[in-house]
Chains A and B, each alone.
Chain A
Amino acid sequence: MHDPRLIFEKDHPGRRIVRFPGEETLPDLETLIPKDYLRDEEAPLPEVGELDLVRHFTHLSKRNKGVNDSFYPLGSCTMKYNPLFNETASAQHGFTDLHPYQPIESVQGLLEAFYLAEKYLAEISGLPHVSLHPAAGAHGELTALLVIRKYIDSLGDDKRRTVLIPDSAHGTNPASCTFSGFKTREIKSSKKTGLIDVESLKKAVGDDTAAIMVTNPNTLGLFETDIEEICAIVHDAGGQVYMDGANLNAIMGVTRPGDSGVDVMHFNLHKTFSTPHGCGGPGSGPIGVADHLEPFLPVPRVAKAGDGYTLSTDYAQSIGRTRSFFGNSTVIVRALCYILALGAEGIRDVAHNAVLNANYLRVKLGKTYPVAFDRTCMHEFVATPKGLGKARAVDVAKRLIDLGIHPPTVYFPLIVPEAIMIEPTETESVDTLDRFVDAMVQIAREARDDLDQLLDAPHETPVGRPDEVRAVKEPVLIWSKR
């Protein structure tokens, strides 16, 4: 039976789990720290017993769904299998029990892991210099834009302050621009192809163009076929090309962004390189850059030193530090394990099977859910609930939860009304894809025969659709004792 109580409501004074050696004979705090600085009242954390605590969080876990539970075709998020081996490998003390300031000679194994991760990401992207610092994709974007800004400043150019962003881009793109001191200008996608309209781009570039941010493949799951020309137009105008690498999964091993003219990109290790999303992080968003941007990368940087490795801050033109210490080390170790397990050949197999799975679904599902810009896609595609009458994308999403499937991304990209963005990833089996199609077809049937129950979905979940308006109008953001 569901126990809705919060951990605070299970408080039972006197229950203790963790005890510390020496805690019985402690001096009075006031003899150590002046009373003025001390708490009047202790922080009212709950006191629970060990078994009750274990049950509390186990119960919560059962009210949560991950990739290990069910199919998770969340577009743009690349919810692929997170190899269990990597969890154990990255959690060993040899990686976790290390202080960031301990002598450099005593972290050579970790630095080697960083060095290899940088090298392999450089190989895959065709961008020779990599920084592992960014903690997430948006952090990588910001870091990359700061690098571009510093590069432009180094040329003494104070006019280039506009970043061009296609209207299909992730929301983090324009937000990152704002935080690096750029203005944004939106570029319309072609209504016919869903791709960047080269003619509009030509009109948009000028001597104020700092950069373009391109997501390739884009958020419709389409490869920007004119990418070379796009890069050339922006370069000719004196701008830089930034690639949002959120969708790298579709193309790795098939084409390298650096080879088409991209100057800088970010990688999502928590998408393409199989590290888990952990309910929203920690991720890792390294960036790769071409030679001319290398001097501006954040510090410290991993460098070869004799037979070993060191961390160096000796880069006069660097943008500086973008976070404390180094990158998200255990996430990077997981990604390295993944690359080593795939090997040189396996990287291409990932892209091949991701694209195969997506197109299989596109063709089978497209009969019931018309696909926006319906042609061969890359790793994902955007379907629509056209023909489902009153049922909207959100209703389809919610009903899927009842059927044991995590919903796709809905209402994104913004340029497709009622978008249902589906990304199966390469790790799903064809059996799972078929079951998904069956579920979607069943929902379409329900839209015709049993609309009311569809509009009320989900029914089988711990809660139905939460009242989001109330959450804002009468905000309850922390627990308090009634």
Chain B
Amino acid sequence: MPYIQNTDADRAHMLETIGARSLEELFEDIPKSIRWTGAFDIPEALSELELADAVNRLALKNITSSCRPTFLGAGIYRHFVPELVNHLAGRSEFVTAYTPYQPEASQGALQAFFEYQTMICMLAGLDISNASMYDGATALTESALMAIDLKRKKKIVLSAAVHPEYKQVLRTYLQHAGVEIVEIPAENGVTPVDAALSSLEGAAALVVQSPNFFGCIEDVKSLSAAAEAAGTLCALSVDPISLSVLEAPGKQGVHIVTGEGQALGTPMNFGGPGFGFMAARSEFIRRLPGRIVGQTEDKAGRQAYVLTFQTREQHIRRARATSNICTNHALVALRAVVYLSALGRTGFKTLGKLVAAKSHQAAEMIAAIPGFEAAFGAPFFKEFTIRCPRPAAEVNGILLEKGIVGGYEAGRDFPGSEHHMIFAVTEMTTDYELNLLIDALKGMA
């Protein structure tokens, strides 16, 4: 019996203690009529040796991004993960622990999450952070729910340049909430401030992403000022790596910042698990969803950490909770703390400069190929949209034949943008890979 330590003799002794004649007797509460007497269509137990073979076979059927140049981004990014992240976040005291509800036995995790909250606030330029959420999409959605709750208004103004899947998740969550969602089309790859301003009346939040789905950096300062003027909250979804060099959103007037944290020390994992993060102004503390760690003292005056403001949460407030979230993505958030500590302020800024330099170099080289041009003039950080001479799907088909995974085809979500391709370039992209791409694109006009 895999993973079970009881022997037959143990079981006999235990049954005797219980006063039961058989294991069967312990299940008498389950009516005979619904007992499962069949055989599962599941293979016989595999030994570890056989299991390794089976699971390795599945892994080997996939083609990893380190096998060939990849220029996909669109929310999930290939960034360097220092090996120490795997070792430290992989320590079993963290991996096999439950949520730190018992602070005396969980000071390690609690302190790490306190450090996490601090780092997220440093990046976002805001005062408070929760201890993680599921992903960028649900974090953005929860920021909208939070705004609806805070403002008591049933309207959300949404930038069309937000990640298409995030927009879909927002709509899924809000479909029964009687909330109107007004989507503002992008102009030249960015959210037009005047259109945003004229839509904001009666809205709880202006929801924007920057850098947005096309890679363009939004005029966050003007957008949040428009929101402020309309008595609306500005909720911004960000790429945390971009905050190494881009102005902290909180300093630009943004009220709530969310995002996908995968890029901070976690591999792409086919899109999950990563983690969602959320930071906000301190005045929103009682409406912030998720777990929050606070610093306090024990009776002896020793510094201690504890889960706090729990009256917001489902296990206390039940139907009136600010969110239904319980389990979050703590261990992936822990990876982010280790990652950001390993980079430090100089390393993190250097990374940002490197990514910006590489992406701009790539954009320039691609735009110099006859037939290819930058689709938008807006500033960008690590992703940029190129207008291709042929449909992007066709370009990707040709690239794939040459062993290159091209960028994201914007036409999948934006009708009329069939020729647009969104490229992502990070510190992982080598000159060799970039040159392969350039050579392959040449002659496609």
Q: Which residues of A contact B13 (CB under 8 A)?
A: 430
Q: Does A292 contact B (CB under 8 A)?
A: no
> Lowest 3 CB-CB distances: which A-B pairs, in order?
A325-B271, A94-B59, A343-B45
Q: Does B195 contact A (CB under 8 A)?
A: no
Q: Does B372 contact A (CB under 8 A)?
A: no
Is the beta-carbon distance between A477 and B171 smaller than 8 angstroms? no
Q: Which residues of B contact A355 (CB under 8 A)?
A: 23, 26-27
Binary B-proximity of A129-142 (CB < 8 A = 1, otherwise 0): 00000011111011
Q: Does B183 contact A (CB under 8 A)?
A: no
Q: Does B257 contact A (CB under 8 A)?
A: no
Binary A-proximity of B45-61 (CB < 8 A = 1, otherwise 0): 11010011011111111
Q: List 14 A-B contacts (CB under 8 A).
A: A18-B343, A38-B245, A42-B345, A95-B62, A98-B65, A135-B272, A170-B326, A171-B326, A282-B331, A298-B172, A461-B107, A464-B304, A467-B299, A478-B127
Which positions 268-318 of chain A face chain B at CB distance < 8 Å? 270, 274, 276-283, 285, 298
Binary B-proximity of A461-482 (CB < 8 A = 1, otherwise 0): 1111111101110111111000
CA–CA, A64 and B113, complex, Å: 12
Q: Which of B198-206, B226-234, B313-321 lies at the interface with chain A?
A: B313-321
Is the beta-carbon distance between A471 and B104 smaller than 8 angstroms? no
Interface size class, chain A: 35 or more
Is the beta-carbon distance between B104 and A282 smaller than 8 angstroms? no
Closest Cβ neighbor of B243 among chain A residues: A43
Which positions 315-354 of chain A face chain B at CB distance < 8 Å? 319-331, 333, 336-337, 339-347, 349-350, 352-353
From known contacts A46-B344, A109-B57, A321-B137, infer whether A356 and B65 are also in contact, taking CB-CB under 8 Å: no
Is the beta-carbon distance between A466 and B76 smaller than 8 angstroms? no
Question: A457 to nearest B CB, angstroms?
Answer: 9
CA–CA, A389 and B244, complex, Å: 57
CA–CA, A329 and B268, complex, Å: 10
Q: Which residues of B contact A74 (CB under 8 A)?
A: 98
Q: Does A426 contact B (CB under 8 A)?
A: yes
Binary B-proximity of A448-464 (CB < 8 A = 1, otherwise 0): 00000000101001111
Is the beta-carbon distance between A97 and B65 smaller than 8 angstroms? yes
Binary A-proximity of B1-17 (CB < 8 A = 1, otherwise 0): 11111100011011101
Q: Does B224 contact A (CB under 8 A)?
A: no
From known contacts A406-B105, A429-B10, infer whether A277 and B98 are also in contact, taking CB-CB under 8 Å: yes
Question: B367 to nearest A CB, angstroms?
Answer: 14
Q: Does B188 contact A (CB under 8 A)?
A: no
Q: Which of B28-36, B150-158, B433-441 lies at the interface with chain A?
A: B28-36
Question: B36 to nearest A CB, angstroms?
Answer: 5
Closest Cβ neighbor of A96 among chain B residues: B267
Q: Which residues of B contact A401 (CB under 8 A)?
A: 102, 104-105
Q: Does A174 contact B (CB under 8 A)?
A: yes
Binary A-proximity of B376-392 (CB < 8 A = 1, otherwise 0): 00011100000000000
Q: Please pick, from B61, B298, B356, the residue contacting A467 in the complex, using a CB distance under 8 A.
A: B298
Q: Which residues of B contact A320 (CB under 8 A)?
A: 168-169, 171-172, 175
CA–CA, A83 and B144, complex, Å: 39
Is the beta-carbon distance between B98 and A33 smaller than 8 angstroms? no
Q: Does A198 contact B (CB under 8 A)?
A: no
Known contacts A99-B65, A175-B323; can you find 4 more A-B pairs with CB under 8 A? A50-B342, A100-B76, A109-B59, A470-B297
Is the beta-carbon distance between A464 and B6 smaller than 8 angstroms? no
Closest Cβ neighbor of B78 among chain A residues: A99
Q: Please pick, from A16, A20, A253, the residue contacting B354 in the complex, using a CB distance under 8 A.
A: A20
Q: Does A376 contact B (CB under 8 A)?
A: yes
Q: Which residues of A contact B294 (CB under 8 A)?
A: 471-472, 475-477
Which positions 47-73 of chain A face chain B at CB distance < 8 Å? 47-48, 50, 53-54, 56-69, 72
Q: Please pick, from A89, A99, A350, A426, the residue contacting B70 in the complex, using a CB distance under 8 A.
A: A99
Closest Cβ neighbor of A225 among chain B residues: B29
Binary A-proximity of B241-268 (CB < 8 A = 1, otherwise 0): 0011111100100000000100000011
